Amino acid sequence: MATGSAKRRATGLRLRVAAVAGMAALAPIAALSIPAPTSTAPTSTVQGVYTAEQASEGAALYAGQCAMCHGKALEGTLENPALTGRFLGNWGHAPLADLFDYIGRAMPQMAPGTLPPASNARIIAYLLQQNGMPAGKTPLPADSAALKTIMLDPAKR
């Protein structure tokens, strides 16, 4: 007959084996809930994610569609926020897709959602330029999925 100490060791061993088996059974479930690491790091707006021509086109669009509410110099009004300065704090460290999607559904204020995606991308290019982000050689995409990989990075400008 086994002693009390031997019974406790055997019981402890069975419990450890059951715990390991339980964890092994849950491993496939846990693997499903953990996103796979991505091989590409997000692009930052300090890397030149729009062209100077795109920003120039965005300036013309801004003058006709946005300036009446946000000011000719992006300074804001009593009712509407400035699009420089604090703007970076509000939208910084987020993917440009967030800003693009917001503009696409909420702007211009008098006719929300009426501008085509390419116009919204040009306006964002202008906003980036006016907030000190450098121009690059590739136009800013007019596609929310592509803009999810570009982070507005105000700290490094």
Q: Token pair for residue 141? A: 């995409």
Quote the pLDDT of residue 31: 47
Could you list the residue range(s) of the whole structural domain that residue 57 is in? 43-156
Type of residue numbered 111: A
Burial 99-111 (b: 16+ CB within 10 A, else e): bbeebbeebbeee
Here the tokens at position 77 are 């009004």
Q: Would you state the pLDDT for residue 156? A: 61
Q: List the CATH number of the domain containing 85.
A: 1.10.760.10
Say what the pTM is: 0.74
What values do phi and psi take at 15, rounded to 5? -65, -40
pLDDT, position 42: 86
**151 by DSSP, 3-state: which?**
strand
The yes-or-no verdict on residue 28 having pLDDT over 60 is no
pLDDT at site 72:
97
Same domain, 22 and 50: no
Together in a domain, 64 and 97: yes
The reply to whether 109 and 63 lie within a common domain is yes
pLDDT tens-place string over residues 82-127: 999 989 889 999 999 999 999 999 999 999 999 999 999 999 999 9
pLDDT at residue 15, rounded to an integer: 52
Q: What is the predicted pLDDT for the residue at 41?
A: 75
Tally of domains within the chain:
2
Strands (E) across 92-133 are located at none
Residue 62, pLDDT > 80, answer: yes
pLDDT above 60 for 56: yes
